[in-house]
Chain A
Amino acid sequence: MEITSFFTDYTLRTITIGTAVLGAVCGMLGSFAVLRKQSLLGDAISHAALPGIAIAFLITGTKDSNVLLLGALVSGLIGTFWIRGIVTKTHLKTDTALGLILSLFFGFGMLLLTYIQKQPNANQAGLDKYLFGQAATLVESDVVLMVIVTSLSLFVMLLFWKEFKLLLFDKEYALTLGFNTKLIDGLISFFIVLAIVIGLQTVGVVLMSAMLLAPAAAARQWTNSLGVMVFLAAVLGAFSGVFGTAISASQANLSTGPVIVLVAAVFVTISFIFSPYRGILFKQFRLLKSRRELELQKTLYFMYSIVEDHTDISKPHAIKMLNNFKGFTKKTLAKLETKEWIIIQGQNWSLTQTGFLEAQNLYTNLPDKK
């Protein structure tokens, strides 16, 4: 399988573009979901969309993709608004509301699906591909729909960028400025539900929540700017789609959805560990560095406390004196010498004048302290 077959082979090309576009839109909208602390909304909505699919089939009797997706959209929206209703009007918390809508709607959907399966109509096979998605069955019209939805989301996002950003970070201020927060909120939720519904047929219900979350969580680690984060999340999402498709295509028996999710998870892990400001690795380095810094100061102060009562502060003392003191290392001594705060002669150290002054002012806040 060569690299060019990604462009020449119809199926591969379609799937690659489809999953890339899906990854991008999930990254974009997922950034808002993650920052609004509605991460698991994606999970809840993807499950809530199931009865809509079943009811759409029951009403129309067709398996036309668009009809079913419309049903999923309606059902997902009902779920979203019921979640909001539960959270605002009762004392049940967000996680309870999400868990309720998730399981109750999905269970209802499964009941309908099994009811449909027992019907004499032979048309109902394959409704359950919405559970796991089958990226392999994507056709060009599906991808076109995805591109349209993505462009629309992008357009709306750019149009309302300032309002979205304001609502995200300071809702009360937005209210006082007179914005209709309910409308803006509803707009964001609508597009999130739309993205989920579109993604259902690619990665399926269960894995959709990861696609909304992972690129955004990964992108968050690299920047504090919303615009950069959204862009980066879109890029990471797209890459997850492309790599995931490539990997699953290269091996037999690997369904695309789970592989895409695992690729995204790898991106997240890398971001968690290696990102410069927030990453765990560099945080650890910085911690060690400041610890060493602290130990340097403590050693210096210890030396000062030994020396301060002597009339001659430069009297040498044995290095062995410091042995009982924690935090003293050869490196610390060498560093102190480089800073010209001490002089080391053989097995002895002695405090210099600058070192003495430095130690004296270590724990005070004198204005002329450098």
Chain B
Amino acid sequence: MNPTFEIQLIAAITAAACAIPGVFLVLRKMALISDAISHSILPGIVIGFMITQDLASPWLILLAAASGILTVVLVELIQKTGLVKEDTAIGLVFPALFSIGVLLIAKNANDVHLDVDAVLLGELALAPFDRVFIDGTDYGPKSLWIITTILILTVGLLLAFYKELKLSTFDIGLSSALGFSPFILHYGLMSVASVTTVASFDAVGAILVVALMIAPAATAYLLTTDLKKMLVLSIVFGVSAAIGGYWLAKLLNGSISGSITTVLGVLFLFVYLFAPSKGLIAVLLRQKRQRIEVSLLTFLLHLNNHNSTEERNVAHLQEHINWRSVRANTVLQLAKNNNLITIKDNIVTLTQKGLEFTERALDYIISNKDEKIEDMKNDFFLFRG
């Protein structure tokens, strides 16, 4: 296997391994825990190094994962006191732990290659150089083995606990009433996130792990609300960003994890703008349409209240409802096109259809019962709710 292929493989598998816990973190509104964990594993690594004096020791991973879980425990302890809100608790714990890590490095490991840049960025380009040799046979890069194991474990846990995870994410009350322990599920998820972070940051660095967990999931969330689809889409986005990012880095001669993150960013921006019903453009168009329909409804109801011809003159209505001419004309056009009014000699009259429409709308407003306007839902955004 050549290094190019290996790097992309590592990146892709890391992306997949991060996407799965990421989906649940986003759905549970715990996205920033990933940021907290990725920063606070630093002291774990440093302490592990101080004990073993060996950068390649597995103790580093274990202690780092432990300090990730410690973060979560501390955050929840602080939350339990009720003295500050949850996000404040997170923001207090991880900088403190991170500072301890930085100071420990500066004080004790200053002349060793525990480079903070490497912690933040990782160095995917160097991953192929750290290989596993058993009896002299080359089994491939070490990071590949680690992250593949993590991926298999994660997928296994996901398949085993899918229903429980789904239930506790969306209806925590029901899941505890049914006897599942939300506590175990929560800490299980945190542990998986922690271990995945540690395994990944060796290759891709702390920041990219956060991006790989949150961005694909958030992007997928804008496109679907089906959990299975969201998981699949997240993995697809993560893997494509990983591979695309690699080639971008090659083009610009920059950091691979930085460029993977950039690709994730561009992907998110694109979906944010253009997603079918949740994208920014779709939302803005829909809101504009709803505004006109509200105006239409107001106008028709107003019309219904006036029977004399002077009050139903176009200009008078404009003045009475206090709309500017552009808006008034748009509304008039819309009403006319829908056969809700007729205009003769500048006098506006409600048609039969218009009359029925206003009566039904009034019914709906007063009683708030959906069936009053069932058949109108197709024509009007307003009633789609």
B102 to A, closest residue via Cβ: A258
Interface contact B207-A110, CB-CB below 8 Å: yes
Among B78-86, B156-164, B294-302, the stretch in contact with A: B78-86
Interface contact A254-B90, CB-CB below 8 Å: no
Task: Known contacts A100-B215, A115-B252; decide if A40 and B95 are in contact (CB<8 Å).
Answer: no
Asked if A114 is at the interface (CB within 8 A of a chain B CB), the reply is yes
Interface contact B258-A108, CB-CB below 8 Å: yes
Chain A interface extent, by class: 35 or more
Task: Known contacts A207-B95, A253-B110; decide if A34 and B88 are in contact (CB<8 Å).
Answer: yes
Interface contact B207-A103, CB-CB below 8 Å: yes
- Find B253's partner among A113, A115, A259 (CB 8 Å cutoff): A115
Q: Which residues of B contact A109 (CB under 8 A)?
A: 258
- Find B261's partner among A98, A111, A115, A259 (CB 8 Å cutoff): A111
Q: Which residues of B contact A90 (CB under 8 A)?
A: 222, 272, 278, 280, 283
Interface contact B87-A95, CB-CB below 8 Å: yes
B99 to A, closest residue via Cβ: A258
Distance in angstroms from B39 CB to nearest chain A CB is: 7
Q: Which residues of B contact A214 (CB under 8 A)?
A: 92
- Find A108's partner among B106, B210, B261 (CB 8 Å cutoff): B261
* Shortest beta-carbon contacts, A-B, top 4: A107-B261, A111-B258, A210-B95, A258-B99
Q: Which residues of A contact B90 (CB under 8 A)?
A: 39-40
Asked if B107 is at the interface (CB within 8 A of a chain A CB), the reply is yes
Distance in angstroms from A279 CB to nearest chain B CB is: 8
Asked if A233 is at the interface (CB within 8 A of a chain B CB), the reply is no
Interface contact B261-A110, CB-CB below 8 Å: yes
- Find A112's partner among B78, B254, B260, B264 (CB 8 Å cutoff): B254
Interface contact A254-B261, CB-CB below 8 Å: no
Interface contact A39-B85, CB-CB below 8 Å: yes
Interface contact A103-B254, CB-CB below 8 Å: no
Asked if A99 is at the interface (CB within 8 A of a chain B CB), the reply is yes
Instruction: Type the 1/0 row for B254-274, where 1 means its CB is closer than 8 Å to any CB of A.
Output: 110111111011001000100
Residue from A90, A103, A254, A259 having most chain B Cβ neighbours under 10 A: A103
Among A59-67, A69-77, A261-269, A315-323, the stretch in contact with B: A261-269
Q: Which residues of B contact A106 (CB under 8 A)?
A: 207, 261
Interface contact A110-B257, CB-CB below 8 Å: yes
Distance in angstroms from A114 CB to nearest chain B CB is: 4
Instruction: Type the 1/0 row for A232-270, where 1 means its CB is closer than 8 Å to any CB of B.
Output: 000000000000000000000111011101100100100
A92 to B, closest residue via Cβ: B218
Asked if B20 is at the interface (CB within 8 A of a chain A CB), the reply is no
Q: For the complex, count residues of B whose C-beta is within 8 A of A.
A: 61
Q: Which residues of A contact B249 (CB under 8 A)?
A: 111
Distance in angstroms from A299 CB to nearest chain B CB is: 31
* C-alpha spacing A38/B90, complex, angstroms: 12
Task: Known contacts A39-B88, A110-B120; decide if A257 and B99 are in contact (CB<8 Å).
Answer: yes
Instruction: Type the 1/0 row for A76-118, where 1 means its CB is closer than 8 Å to any CB of B.
Output: 0000000001100111111110111011111111111111001
* C-alpha spacing A361/B96, complex, angstroms: 54
Residue from A40, A85, A100 having most chain B Cβ neighbours under 10 A: A100
Task: Known contacts A210-B92, A253-B106; decide if A108 and B265 are in contact (CB<8 Å).
Answer: yes
Interface contact B110-A132, CB-CB below 8 Å: no
- Find A111's partner among B29, B110, B259, B278 (CB 8 Å cutoff): B259
Residues of B in contact with A (beta carbons under 8 Å apart): 26, 29-32, 34-35, 39, 78, 81, 83-85, 87-88, 90-92, 95-96, 98-100, 102-103, 106-107, 110, 116-117, 120-121, 207-208, 210-211, 214-215, 217-218, 221-222, 249, 252-255, 257-262, 264-265, 268, 272, 278, 280, 283-284
Task: Known contacts A104-B265, A111-B255, A262-B99; decide if A99 and B207 are in contact (CB<8 Å).
Answer: no
Asked if A16 is at the interface (CB within 8 A of a chain B CB), the reply is no
* C-alpha spacing A112/B265, complex, angstroms: 14
Interface contact A91-B100, CB-CB below 8 Å: no
Interface contact A99-B87, CB-CB below 8 Å: no
Asked if A191 is at the interface (CB within 8 A of a chain B CB), the reply is no
Interface contact A99-B31, CB-CB below 8 Å: yes
* C-alpha spacing A94/B95, complex, angstroms: 20
Interface contact B278-A107, CB-CB below 8 Å: no
Task: Known contacts A86-B272, A115-B253; decide if A206 and B258 are in contact (CB<8 Å).
Answer: no
Interface contact B254-A111, CB-CB below 8 Å: yes
Interface contact B278-A254, CB-CB below 8 Å: no
Q: Which residues of A contact B32 (CB under 8 A)?
A: 40, 43, 95, 98-99
Q: Which residues of A contact B102 (CB under 8 A)?
A: 132, 255, 257-258
Q: Which residues of B contact A131 (CB under 8 A)?
A: 116-117, 120
- Find A37's partner among B26, B85, B116, B258 (CB 8 Å cutoff): B85
* C-alpha spacing A206/B205, complex, angstroms: 14
Asked if A150 is at the interface (CB within 8 A of a chain B CB), the reply is no
Interface contact A95-B31, CB-CB below 8 Å: yes
* C-alpha spacing A96/B262, complex, angstroms: 17
Distance in angstroms from A178 CB to nearest chain B CB is: 17
A263 to B, closest residue via Cβ: B99
Q: Which chain A residues numbered 121 to 136 have a C-beta less than 8 Å away from chain B?
A: 128, 131-132
B214 to A, closest residue via Cβ: A99
Asked if A201 is at the interface (CB within 8 A of a chain B CB), the reply is no
Q: Which residues of A contact B91 (CB under 8 A)?
A: 39-40, 42-43, 209-210, 212-213
Q: Which residues of A contact B103 (CB under 8 A)?
A: 254-255, 258-259, 262
Q: Which residues of B contact A45 (CB under 8 A)?
A: none
Distance in angstroms from A301 CB to nearest chain B CB is: 32
Task: Known contacts A106-B261, A110-B121, A111-B259; decide if A268 and B92 are in contact (CB<8 Å).
Answer: yes
B31 to A, closest residue via Cβ: A99
Asked if A221 is at the interface (CB within 8 A of a chain B CB), the reply is yes
Q: Which residues of A contact B92 (CB under 8 A)?
A: 210, 213-214, 217, 265, 268
Q: List 19 A-B contacts (CB under 8 A).
A: A39-B88, A90-B280, A92-B26, A93-B31, A99-B214, A100-B218, A103-B261, A108-B262, A110-B261, A111-B261, A206-B95, A207-B95, A209-B95, A217-B83, A217-B88, A220-B83, A255-B103, A257-B99, A272-B83
* C-alpha spacing A213/B83, complex, angstroms: 13
Distance in angstroms from B141 CB to nearest chain A CB is: 21
Task: Known contacts A105-B265, A110-B258, A262-B99; decide if A37 and B87 are in contact (CB<8 Å).
Answer: yes
Interface contact B84-A255, CB-CB below 8 Å: no
Interface contact A102-B210, CB-CB below 8 Å: yes
Q: Which residues of A contact B84 (CB under 8 A)?
A: 34, 217, 220
Distance in angstroms from B29 CB to nearest chain A CB is: 5
Interface contact A95-B98, CB-CB below 8 Å: no
Q: Which residues of B contact A262 (CB under 8 A)?
A: 96, 99-100, 103
A251 to B, closest residue via Cβ: B107
* C-alpha spacing A360/B37, complex, angstroms: 58
